[in-house]
Amino acid sequence: MLDDFFTRALVAGIGLALVVGPLGCFVVWRRMAYFGDTMAHSALLGVALSFLFEINLTAGVFVVAALASVALLFLQRHGTLSTDALLGILSHSTLALGLVMVAFMSWIRIDLMAFLFGDILTVSRLDIAMIYGGGALVLLVLAWLWRPLLAATVNQEIAEAEGMRPERARFIFMLLMAAMIAIAMKIVGIMLITSLLIIPAAAARRFASTPETMAVAASLAGAIAVIGGLNASLQFDTPSGPSIVVAALILFLLSLAPISLRKPAALKSGGKT
């Protein structure tokens, strides 16, 4: 079954969507979209260092993304700048450093477009094994972390008072984000990873009554976006990664439709009374 490149792409994309759905929910709840962008941009520096020191690409990206998280926490505690300013500095500086390093490594041919926008159609069986194996580990850790992380999202002071150690939960969540960015880079690319985290979760928020149902709905929305985006890419000969994100955007826009349809009725009812 996995001999066909399109089938491998579907299996890999669905596996990724199932994992990033719950992570994306916390990104939305905790308003960490800019943090996700920062970690994604730091991935290019990880790519450059991986080629320079001839280490595993996924491991190199994970280490650099994790170090970016540590740097953010350190600067937040000891710096005088606001969090968004620190994120802007880390995001653009790591991206620029990565691009400069790649430019200096003239002896290595690097396809920047593949890293920036992904190429899910080239995933191998080993990539699929990494997605499902690493994804299962990420979900297990997230399940263990769910209660303290959710409590800290609602109210950090109460979480601290109940001994849930919200700072530790936040740091571990950052490491989980780093791991998924390293895994997802080949599929949707550095520039589009955050979109796949945020858009399905935002679409699911309209229909979820509990955090758990939103996490499940986000995973399903991501899987539908992968299936729809890949088929559209095959049909219209468009880039696979951006096509997946566009499909997720369409789902988000459709999630707004019920509210838009209810507004005129509500206004009409209000006029009668």
pLDDT at residue 272 is higher than 50: no
Supply the DSSP symbol for 122: G
CATH superfamily placement of domain 5-272 = ABC transporter involved in vitamin B12 uptake, BtuC (1.10.3470.10)
Distance, in Å, from the CA atom of 13 to the CA atom of 24, rounded to the nearest integer, reads 15
pLDDT for res 259: 55
- Please check the confidence at residue 258 and state whether its pLDDT lies above 90: no
The confidence band for 1, taking pLDDT boundaries of 50, 70 and 90, is low
Whether 218 has a pLDDT exceeding 80, the answer reads yes
pLDDT computed for residue 76 by the predictor: 84
Q: What is the pLDDT of residue 262?
A: 43
Q: What is the DSSP string of 179-233?
A: HHHHHHHHHH-TTTHHHHHHHHHHHHHTT-SSHHHHHHHHHHHHHHHHHHHHHHH
**What local confidence, expressed as pLDDT, does residue 267 receive?**
35
What was the pLDDT predicted at 264? 46
pLDDT tens digits for 53-64? 999 998 999 999
Q: Pick the closest to residue 91 from 72, 107, 110, 105 (CA basis).
A: 72
Q: What is the pLDDT of residue 101?
A: 93
List the one residue out of 138, 137, 169 whose CA is nearest residue 151. Answer: 169
Poorest-pLDDT segment among 11-20, 57-66, 254-263: 254-263
Confidence of residue 78 (pLDDT cuts 50, 70, 90): confident
Q: What is the pLDDT of residue 260?
A: 46
Mean pLDDT of 227-232: 95
Average pLDDT of span 253-259: 81
Q: What is the pLDDT of residues 18-49, one digit of tens each?
A: 999 999 999 999 988 889 889 889 999 999 99
Which tokens sit at 255?
């999630």
CA distance linking residue 273 with residue 209, whole number of Å? 30
The pLDDT score that the predictor gives to residue 159 is 85
pLDDT digits (tens, 9 = 90+) for 159-203: 888 888 888 999 999 999 999 999 888 788 887 888 999 999 999
- pTM of the predicted model as reported, rounded to 2 decimal places: 0.87
Per-residue pLDDT tens digits for 104-128:
988 888 888 888 888 888 898 999 9
